[in-house]
Amino acid sequence: MRGIDTTQSAMFSYVSPEQRVPKDHPLRTIRPLCDVALKALSREFDRMYSDVGRPSIAPEKLLRALLLQILYTMRGCSFKRWSKKRE
């Protein structure tokens, strides 16, 4: 069963991600692009998951986490060059 892509605003942190990420950080430009791509894949995710059983972690959350992991393992200069090409 497919999990729901919701945010838990105050489970363990008293500072929201919006307050942690600087206004000019490249992740702020990447996030909307990621959201659009994941929304386009939503029907595909629905087809892949069963209607019965225990809910999973939402695939959107897993893919966002994977993208963050990939971006944060890039060297600083590579990430800056990559983000400049996207602007």
Domain boundaries, the chain: 25-86
Residue 32 burial (CB count, 10 A) = 9
Element (DSSP H or E) covering residue 28: helix 27-40
pLDDT tier, 18 (very low <50, low <70, confident <90, very high otherwise): confident
pLDDT tier, 8 (very low <50, low <70, confident <90, very high otherwise): low
Q: How many angstroms separate the Cα of 17 from the Cα of each of 1, 23, 55, 84?
A: 28, 11, 25, 23
Give this prediction's pTM.
0.67
Average pLDDT, the chain: 81
Q: What is the pLDDT of residue 39?
A: 92
* pLDDT tens digits for range 55-72: 888 899 999 999 989 888
